[in-house]
């Protein structure tokens, strides 16, 4: 089927990945602060070791941001994920340190606990009609209390080497290059498919766009692996993050599940009257959030090497900030996983750069607060114009 | 001349909404402003009210011969202009009295004088014959009453120029009569009124002059007594429009949908919103459902669709088999489609594209059970767009930017893509211009000819009488009459709807 009026490629962007002007602004801002930090630290910022640390630091916020986006899309929020991360990370640590379980069972216990907690949140929000803000605020308090009680205030060490590896290990350089090649193949494949689809929809296409669409991401993938390999290889947490991101992007953009989330957030009444069982999807996204909070908690525990009772404090705020800076609307119906990831990288870059410049902790907090408000403010102004 | 608007131009990026429009209004006159959606009526009124400040439009506005420069709504209000927009601007959580005097509460030294406020509100409401307690929260009133409160609010501003934009859209016949009396009273007192409406019978009943806008230009201004509906329509549309309603040559077949003894009770008060209603619809038939606002028609449809919060009892049969419907999902699975009232609130996700809206109710079979198939969706959506003649750049245009008529077509497409056995329509042409209305009527006729059973709730009597094979009348939740097309007349349908027979 071809249209009588060829569609401008601007419309195509909306199908293939929601890359609107907001995301381009985000990328631009990211590059900008990288340049700023690179020049003001005499290039130390761009050293392989630093960039590698930056990505590692971004991982946990990044994983949580993917889950948070999926909760925000249908119009809710989750304030408890810091406490949930602390609790589930603690449970996983306790399973292998005190209960003597193996690696996989400990992991599973942590993640299943996260899913269960998410289910509780989701059921309360969807069926008892308690606002998500309240349910998860209660969760923030209660789950923190739970881990303090269970651990009796003790810091639980991580003994199993495989467990530690999740947080501290790096991929072998060859494996890293293997990933790069796999990425390039996928990029080229999808760029080609987009090319074919554009032809079908009657859009004027040219090979130059195809090549750019294939080359730029491929170059980025190569640069990414190259820089990380320069130091110690791709960190395992980052790999986990990439997998989560890919699944997240797929879920939100290419499945009926994702489509329904956007509809529920965009207009819940219309979604309901179109036959969407909203309650079921709300429970589902909270379960996903719980699982990802657990994953984040486990990675954090693995990296630090032990589970402290107050681990994960304030993580929810970082995740929300990442989503919002990445273009998500807290009212629901608008935002992308990709944007949330860029937001996480942006915030980690801020943290990292300011630490390199030896900014005091309090200064860093003030700067982050100001930038968060500024980012959303600019977004609002931009929305009014368009 | 009370008001003169000369050479008004207003442009938006890419669109010239008003192109040298001239309009004037005398004191003690009701001047109707008509035109299709997008002709520029609302834009012109926004210029008059100062929503578009003087710096952002061309042309001049004169009141009593003096030029005005409005920079905001306060300026126009100070000059004696009051506008009642189609979209209500009331705060549901506040009381009627608070809403009427919002921002202009009687104060002494900054302290609001509530007793005075409610005294004045009561006076105003009595003038309007509105038996409402001014301390009721506006959100608890029916939409017709809310609209009259909106009018009370405008009247409390002692306006000399009153603009009414589709004022009777949500009013019952009785409420319309009240409004007519108020307007005639105001006319006698020298107030000038600009009356914007799609309902030409009202226009011809009330107005002294009629101005037709089309594509942002003034086409013509004539005295009402010197023209007729056909001429006005022709000017609005730019072409001769003869037969709006398709001819009556349908032959319905077998019964495909039946409702027996359906009763719906309000979840809070237990009041029967729908009282023992039974009816049948045949394949290829259009069943019109008439009645006043509050008669229970929308409640009936919502209950059938499994979307009513109240207690529902009775039987629903699809193709002869009794079915249980507890949610919209189940209704859809049984082959029921429902084009709801108020497309912006209940029918569309305004910030998403046409395609995503069209496929929303049937995503699993139009696209894929888990993974979406954009190619398949685009193909099906493209066909629907062409068949229904949705005017938009592409399937990926955001629905919020479309005109009312095209938005309604998208909602219609959404349900048709599910291949329903019976399609319910609730006020399908509300807020839609005459050209698009005609297209929708043609569609409804075509669908019925193709074998679809259609149940159409509408408050526009001409529409119900023009399209239906049979007419069902509801009053206070009960069926009070049923006529075939031949038997139904405006009088006997109205009589059954109001209970005055």
Query: Which CATH number is B320's domain given?
Result: 3.40.50.300
Average pLDDT over chain A reads 87
The 10s digit of each residue's pLDDT in B22-42 is: 999 999 999 999 887 667 888
Judged by a CB distance cut-off of 8 A, whether residue A272 touches chain B is: yes
Between B491 and A296, where is the model more confident?
A: A296
pLDDT score recorded for residue B238: 65
Boundary-marking domain end, from A234, A260, A280: A234
* pLDDT confidence tier of residue A10, bands split at 50, 70 and 90: very low
Asked whether residue B319 falls in the same domain as residue B208, the answer is: no
Residue B501 scores a pLDDT above 70:
no
Do A272 and B328 make contact, defined as CB atoms within 8 angstroms? yes
Query: What whole-number distance in Å separates Cα of residue B435 and Cα of residue B432?
Result: 8
Pick the range with the lowest mean pLDDT from B91-100, B123-132, B233-242: B233-242
Judged by a CB distance cut-off of 8 A, whether residue B426 touches chain A is: no
How far apart, in Å, are the Cα atoms of A332 and each of A73, A282, A369, B191, B202? Answer: 4, 12, 22, 46, 42
Beta strands in chain A (DSSP E): 156-157, 306-307
Task: Count the neighbouring beta carbons within 10 Å of the beta carbon of residue A65.
Answer: 37
Do A12 and B396 make contact, defined as CB atoms within 8 angstroms? yes
Mean pLDDT within B131-138: 88
* Percentage with pLDDT > 70 across chain B: 95
Residues in CB range of B439: below 8 A, 6 or more apart = B389, B405, B409
Asked whether residue B266 falls in the same domain as residue B228, the answer is: no
Angle between the N-to-C axes of helices A48-72 and A81-97, in degrees from 0 to 180, rounded to the nearest 10: 110
As beta bridge partners, residue B289 has B457, B472
The 10s digit of each residue's pLDDT in A108-154 is: 999 999 999 999 999 999 999 999 999 999 999 999 999 999 999 88
B-interface mutation test, from A254, A274, A336, A383, most B Cβ less than 10 A away: A274
Judged by a CB distance cut-off of 8 A, whether residue B346 touches chain A is: yes
B327 chain-A contacts, CB cut-off 8 A: 275, 277
By three-state DSSP, how is residue B474 classified?
strand
Asked whether residue A229 falls in the same domain as residue A272, the answer is: no
Mean pLDDT within A194-220: 75
Mean pLDDT within B410-428: 94
The 10s digit of each residue's pLDDT in A337-354 is: 999 999 999 999 999 999
Judged by a CB distance cut-off of 8 A, whether residue B376 touches chain A is: no
pLDDT score recorded for residue A5: 34
Between B198 and B466, where is the model more confident?
A: B466
Query: What whole-number distance in Å separates Cα of residue B66 and Cα of residue B2?
Result: 10
Q: What is the 3-state secondary structure (H, E, C) of A53-110?
A: HHHHHHHHHHHHHHHHHHHHCCCCCCCCHHHHHHHHHHHHHHHHHCCCCCHHHHHHHH
Q: By residue range, what is the domain housing residue B458? A: 254-335+453-501
Do B331 and A262 make contact, defined as CB atoms within 8 angstroms? no
Do B378 and A333 make contact, defined as CB atoms within 8 angstroms? no
In a domain, B484, yes or no: yes
Q: What is the 3-state secondary structure (H, E, C) of B387-446?
A: HHCCCCCCCCCEHHHCCHHHHHHHHHHHHHCCCCCEEEEECCCCCCCHHHHHHHHHHHHH
**Number of domains present in the structure of chain B:** 2
Cα B441-B447-B450 angle, rounded to 5 deg: 145
The 10s digit of each residue's pLDDT in A169-180 is: 888 888 888 888
Scanning every residue of chain B, which has its alpha carbon at the shortest distance from the alpha carbon of A273?
Answer: B328
In a domain, A248, yes or no: yes
Average pLDDT over chain B reads 87
Residue B159 scores a pLDDT above 90:
no
Nearest chain B CA: its distance from A277 CA (Å): 7
Out of B137-146, B155-164, B349-358, give the one with best mean pLDDT: B349-358
Asked whether residue A151 falls in the same domain as residue A281, the answer is: yes
Name which of B312, B294, B292, B293 is nearest B302 in CA terms.
Answer: B312
Query: What whole-number distance in Å separates Cα of residue B127 and Cα of residue B178?
Result: 10
pLDDT score recorded for residue B358: 95
Alpha carbon B92 to chain centroid distance?
A: 20
pLDDT score recorded for residue A221: 87
Judged by a CB distance cut-off of 8 A, whether residue B276 touches chain A is: no
Asked whether residue B133 falls in the same domain as residue B174, the answer is: yes
Q: By residue range, what is the domain housing residue A215? A: 170-234
Do B347 and A270 make contact, defined as CB atoms within 8 angstroms? yes
Scanning every residue of chain B, which has its alpha carbon at the shortest distance from the alpha carbon of A267?
Answer: B349
Q: Using a CB cutoff of 8 Å and minimum separation of 24, what contacts does B333-336 make?
A: B334/B421, B335/B419, B335/B420, B335/B421, B335/B422, B336/B257, B336/B304, B336/B305, B336/B420, B336/B421, B336/B422, B336/B423, B336/B424
B352 chain-A contacts, CB cut-off 8 A: 262-263, 266
Query: What whole-number distance in Å separates Cα of residue B411 and Cα of residue A270?
Result: 10
Residue A11 scores a pLDDT above 60:
no
| Pick from B350, B353, B379: CB nearest A1 | B379
Boundary-marking domain end, from A191, A215, A234: A234
Boundary-marking domain end, from B207, B237, B267: B237
- ipTM field: 0.85
Judged by a CB distance cut-off of 8 A, whether residue B345 touches chain A is: yes
pLDDT score recorded for residue A1: 34
Block residue for tokens 């209500």:
B88
Residue B167 scores a pLDDT above 60:
yes
Boundary-marking domain end, from A208, A234, A260: A234
Query: What whole-number distance in Å separates Cα of residue A265 and Cα of residue B332?
Result: 21
Residue B247 scores a pLDDT above 50:
yes
Dihedral, CA of residue B51, residue B53, residue B58 and residue B61, to nearest 10: 80
In a domain, B463, yes or no: yes
In a domain, B357, yes or no: no
Pair type for strands B81-84 and B272-282: unpaired
Judged by a CB distance cut-off of 8 A, whether residue A268 touches chain B is: no
The 10s digit of each residue's pLDDT in B421-472 is: 999 999 998 878 778 888 899 999 999 998 899 999 987 778 888 899 999 9
| Pick from B327, B379, B396: CB nearest A15 | B396
Asked whether residue A222 falls in the same domain as residue A341, the answer is: no
* Percentage with pLDDT > 90 across chain B: 39
**Number of domains present in the structure of chain A:** 2
* pLDDT confidence tier of residue B155, bands split at 50, 70 and 90: confident
Asked whether residue A314 falls in the same domain as residue A219, the answer is: no
* pLDDT confidence tier of residue A259, bands split at 50, 70 and 90: very high
């Amino acid at each position: 089927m071809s249209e009588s009026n060829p569609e401008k490629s601007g419309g195509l962007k909306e199908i293939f990945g929601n890359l609107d002007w907001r995301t381009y602004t985000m990328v631009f801002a990211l590059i900008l602060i990288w340049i700023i930090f690179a020049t003001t630290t005499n290039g130390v910022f761009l050293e392989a070791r630093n960039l590698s640390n930056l990505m590692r630091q971004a991982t946990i916020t990044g994983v949580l941001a993917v889950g948070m986006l999926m909760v925000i899309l249908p119009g809710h929020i989750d304030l408890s994920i810091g406490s949930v991360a602390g609790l589930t990370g603690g449970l996983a640590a306790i399973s292998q340190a005190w209960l003597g379980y193996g690696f996989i069972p400990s992991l599973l216990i942590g993640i299943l606990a996260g899913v269960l907690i998410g289910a509780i949140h989701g059921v309360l929000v969807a069926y008892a009609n308690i606002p998500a803000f309240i349910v998860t605020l209660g969760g923030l308090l209660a789950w923190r209390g739970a881990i303090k009680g269970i651990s009796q205030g003790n810091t639980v060490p991580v003994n199993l080497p495989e467990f530690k590896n999740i947080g501290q290990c790096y991929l072998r350089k060859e494996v890293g290059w293997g990933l790069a090649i796999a990425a390039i193949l996928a990029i080229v494949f999808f760029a080609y498919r987009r090319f074919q689809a554009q032809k079908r929809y009657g859009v004027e296409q040219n090979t130059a766009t195809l090549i750019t669409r294939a080359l730029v991401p491929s170059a980025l993938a190569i640069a990414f692996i190259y820089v990380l390999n320069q130091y110690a290889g791709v960190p395992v947490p980052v790999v986990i993050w990439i997998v989560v991101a890919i699944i997240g992007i797929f879920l939100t953009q290419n499945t009926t599940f994702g489509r329904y989330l956007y509809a529920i957030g965009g207009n819940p009444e219309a979604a309901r009257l179109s036959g969407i069982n909203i309650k079921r999807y709300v429970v589902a996204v909270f379960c996903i959030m719980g699982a990802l909070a657990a994953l984040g908690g486990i990675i954090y525990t693995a990296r630090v090497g032990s589970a402290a009772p107050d681990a994960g404090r304030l993580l929810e705020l970082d995740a929300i900030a990442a989503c919002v800076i990445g273009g998500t609307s807290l009212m629901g119906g608008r935002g992308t996983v990709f944007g949330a990831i860029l937001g996480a990288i942006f915030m980690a870059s801020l943290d990292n750069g300011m630490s390199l410049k030896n900014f005091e902790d309090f200064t860093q907090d003030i700067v982050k607060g100001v930038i968060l408000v500024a980012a959303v403010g600019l977004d609002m102004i931009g929305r009014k114009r368009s | 001349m009370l008001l003169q608007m000369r050479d008004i131009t207003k442009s938006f990026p890419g669109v010239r909404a008003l192109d040298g429009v001239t309009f004037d209004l005398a004191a003690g006159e009701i001047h109707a402003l008509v035109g299709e959606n997008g002709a520029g009526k609302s834009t012109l009124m926004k210029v008059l009210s100062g929503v578009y400040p003087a710096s952002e439009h061309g042309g001049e506005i004169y009141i009593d011969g003096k030029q005005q420069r409005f920079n905001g709504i306060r300026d126009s209000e100070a000059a004696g202009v009051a506008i009642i927009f189609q979209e209500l601007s009331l705060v549901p959580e506040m009381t009627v009295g608070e809403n009427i005097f919002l921002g202009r509460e009687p104060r002494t030294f900054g302290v609001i004088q509530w007793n005075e406020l409610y005294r004045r509100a009561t006076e105003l409401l009595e003038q309007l014959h509105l038996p409402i307690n001014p301390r009721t929260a506006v959100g608890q009133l029916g939409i017709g009453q809310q609209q009259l409160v909106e009018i009370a609010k405008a009247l409390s501003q002692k306006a000399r120029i009153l603009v009414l934009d589709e004022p009777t859209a949500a009013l019952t016949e009785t409420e319309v009569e009240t409004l007519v009396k108020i307007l005639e009273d105001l006319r006698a007192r020298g107030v000038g009124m600009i009356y914007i409406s799609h309902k030409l019978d009202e226009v011809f009943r009330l107005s002294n002059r009629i101005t037709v806008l089309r594509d942002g230009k003034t086409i013509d201004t004539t005295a009402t007594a010197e023209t007729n509906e056909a001429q006005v329509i022709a000017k609005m549309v730019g072409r001769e429009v003869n037969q709006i309603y398709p001819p009556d040559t349908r032959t319905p077949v077998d019964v495909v949908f039946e409702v027996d003894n359906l009763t719906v009770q309000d979840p809070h008060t237990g009041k029967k919103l729908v009282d023992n209603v039974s009816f049948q619809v045949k394949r290829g038939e259009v069943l019109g459902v008439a009645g006043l606002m509050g008669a229970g028609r929308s409640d009936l449809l919502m209950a059938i669709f499994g979307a009513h919060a109240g207690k529902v009892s009775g039987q629903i049969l699809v193709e002869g088999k009794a079915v249980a419907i507890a949610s919209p999902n189940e209704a859809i699975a049984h082959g029921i489609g429902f084009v709801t009232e108020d497309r912006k609130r209940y029918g569309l996700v305004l910030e998403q594209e046409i395609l995503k809206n069209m496929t929303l109710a049937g995503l699993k079979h139009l696209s894929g059970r888990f993974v979406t198939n954009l190619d398949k969706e685009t193909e099906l959506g493209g066909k629907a767009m062409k068949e229904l003649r949705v005017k938009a750049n592409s399937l990926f245009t955001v629905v919020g930017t479309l005109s009312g008529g095209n938005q309604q077509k998208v909602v219609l497409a959404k349900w048709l893509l599910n291949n329903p056995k019976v399609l319910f329509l609730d006020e399908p042409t509300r807020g839609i211009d005459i050209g698009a209305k005609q297209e929708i009527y043609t569609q409804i006729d075509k669908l019925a000819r193709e074998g679809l059973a259609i149940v159409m709730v509408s408050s526009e009597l001409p529409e119900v009488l023009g399209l239906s094979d049979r007419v069902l009348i509801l009053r206070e939740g009960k069926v009070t009459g049923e006529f075939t097309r031949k038997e139904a007349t405006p009088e006997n349908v109205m009589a059954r709807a109001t209970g005055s027979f």
